[in-house]
Structure 1
Amino acid sequence: MLDIHKLPKQPSVAISFWNVGSLLYYSSALFMLESFFYWSKFKEAYINEAILLSLFWLGSVLFAFSHIFMVVMDGWSRYQNYKRIKDYLFVHGFTPKIARLYKGSKCQRTAFLVAARELGMQDEVLRYYRRLGIKWYHFVPHFMIKDPFFLFKKYFWSRTFLEKRYEPKFNYRQLRPEISL
């Protein structure tokens, strides 16, 4: 178990939630703007009675709008991963075995890195991911490349959007002893 005297100052739950999913929340905002743009194009085509163009823009609206919810659900799932990872790292320390489980996507690696940073282990995790050849710009999840039919697989939906709620085993903000001068 990690020495609580070496535990860095812990951020609030809101800050941790933001840090884990900030990339996803920015994406959600972009999908909202995109939905609004496509909706205006759809209305314009519908008013002009351009049926094929209306169908195209309606499909675009539905695609962008549905992604808002998917991104929010992905953020929720990554936050559940973060809490589970943080408990694991606190009890067992860094191990490549657990880091390997979360190397698949940028969002999962971010959840792992945020948990590691909050426990003072970020450098180990970054070194490990660098050794695997993972760069900061590797956004597309590995499973999407390996399995082009991932959308039709249960593992994709359950691991990406439907992670079960995880209750942390420790209150890290209360664990850290106050340092008096």
Structure 2
Amino acid sequence: MQFSFLPKQPHPIVSYLRVGRLLYYSLIIFIVESWFYWVKLNEAIQFAAAWIIFFWAWSFMFSFIHIFLVLADGWSRYQNYKRAKDQFFMHGFNRRIVDTYIGSKCQRMAALEAARELGIEDEVKAYHKAKGVKWYHYVPYFMIKDPWFGFKKHFWSRTFLEPNYKSRFNYSDYEQLVLQA
């Protein structure tokens, strides 16, 4: 264990929302879009040509499916957060741990939230800066390197189907945490 003092830990729901905040902002947008496209689709069914119906149906399906993709992505990033927090707690700041979560903005946010809750956020941010990660790097690096990423099983399992990770430590009970470590 590397920590002699831990900051007060937030409730898991707060951590869950912080980890995926960008995703949940987009979730709101997709919900509003879906509603808008649904209204337009219903109008088109009554009064428009087939190509207009197809356009609004495609737009609605695109937004509606993304609601579930965003929820799955948020869940997967929360699993990354729990794993990163355990790893940081056991090993302290470690470049290899940070490198595991450096590939996408959402994974970096998960690791940063874990580091923030353990009091090592500045070290992780400094490492990101040293590696050339900018605040506007939203598109995951693997998408730029491999345009066929969507056809790979690894992408789907790592992005949307991350298995449930049960944290090894109870961070809200510091006295017991010291005894566990």
Bucket of the pairwise TM-score, normalised by the shorter protein:
over 0.9
Deviation at 1:61, TM superposition (A): 0.4
- Provide the residue aligned with 2:179 in structure 1: none
Q: What RMSD over aligned residues (CA atoms) do the two structures have, in Å?
A: 1.2
Which secondary structure state, in structure 1, belongs to the residue aligned with residue 20 of structure 2?
helix
Secondary structure of the 2:132 match is coil
Q: Which residue of 1 aligns with 2:6?
A: 7
| Residue correspondence of structure 1 range 160-179 to structure 2 within 5 A | 160-175=159-174
Once residues 147 and 34 of structure 2 are traced to their aligned partners in structure 1, the CA distance between those partners, rounded to angstroms, is: 26
Kept in 2, the 8 Å contact 1:104–1:141? The answer is yes
Q: CA deviation at 1:26?
A: 1.2
Q: Aligned residues, how many?
A: 176
Distance 2:44 2:173 in 1: 58
Which residue number corresponds to residue 79 of structure 1?
78
Q: Which amino acid aligns with 1:17?
A: Y
Is 1:134 matched with 2:133?
Answer: yes
How far 1:176 moved relative to its partner? 5.4
Q: CA deviation at 1:11?
A: 0.7
- Letter in structure 2 aligned against 1:126: K
Cα gap change, 1:176 to 1:118, in 2 (>3 Å):
farther
Give the 4+ runs in structure 1 shifted more than 2 A. Answer: none
- Report the TM-score when normalising by structure 1: 0.94
Is the Cα contact below 8 Å between 1:9 and 1:176 reproduced in 2? no
The alpha carbon displacement at 1:45 in A equals: 1.6
Residue 16 of structure 2 corresponds to 17
Identity among equivalent positions (%) equals 56
Distance 1:123 1:48, change over 3 A: same
> What amino acid is the match of 1:52?
W
Unaligned runs of 5+ residues in structure 2 are 177-181
Partner of 1:42: 41
Deviation at 1:148, TM superposition (A): 1.1
Alignment partners' CA distance in 1, 2:48 and 2:113: 51
Matches within 5 A, 1:3-152: 3=3, 5-152=4-151
Post-superposition offset of 1:138 = 1.0
Q: 1:173 is paired with a residue of what secondary structure?
A: coil
1:96 and 1:176 map into 2 onto residues whose CA distance is: 28
1:73–1:162 contact (8 Å) kept in structure 2? yes
Query: 1:38 deviation in Å?
Result: 1.1
One-letter code aligned to 1:2: Q
